[in-house]
Amino acid sequence: MNGKVLLDTNIIIALFRQDKAVLAHLQRVAEVFIPVVAVGELYYGAYKSGRRVENIRRVQEFAAANIVLTCDGQTSLVYGRVKNELRQRGTPIPENDIWIAALAL
C-alpha cells in the first residue's frame, strides 16, 4: 500500500455501488480522505432520493468511518487562487469541484 487519495462524489457513489475498479484501486492506497464538500453533495442526493432515510443513514455511516477534510482559511486562500487561475485560462469548473481541488492541494 502506498499513497493517499481524496475521493470526489462520483467515486464515492461508485464505491457505494461496489464498482470493482474503484474497490481494487482503494485497496492499494494507504489513506483515503473525503472532502466535506462531497459529503454535502451526498446528503443532497440522499434528500432528493426515493429512499431518503436509508441514504441519509448511509452517508452518515460513511462519513463517520472515514477522514473528512473540512475547509479552513488556508483552503479558502487556495480556492481563490485556483478559481482565478481557471478564470485566466478560460477553463472554469463547477464551484464544488474548485473547493475539492483546494482541499486536495
Alpha-carbon gap, residue 12 to 18, rounded angstroms: 10
Alpha-carbon gap, residue 74 to 70, rounded angstroms: 11
Question: Model confidence at 3, in pLDDT bands (50, 70, 90)?
Answer: confident
Task: Give the residue from 14, 1, 4, 17 showing the smallest Cα distance to 67.
Answer: 4
- Asked if residue 2 is part of any domain, the answer here is no
- Asked if residue 11 is part of any domain, the answer here is no
C-beta of residue 34 within 8 angstroms of C-beta of residue 12 = yes
Question: Model confidence at 51, in pLDDT bands (50, 70, 90)?
Answer: very high
pTM, full prediction: 0.89
Alpha-carbon gap, residue 17 to 23, rounded angstroms: 10
- Asked if residue 73 is part of any domain, the answer here is yes
- Asked if residue 80 is part of any domain, the answer here is yes
Burial class (CB in 10 A: 0-12, 13-18, 19+), 42: buried
- Note the pLDDT tens digit of each residue in 54-90: 999 999 999 999 999 999 999 999 999 999 999 999 9
- Asked if residue 26 is part of any domain, the answer here is no
Residue range(s) defining the domain that contains residue 90 = 33-104
- The count of structural domains within the chain is 1
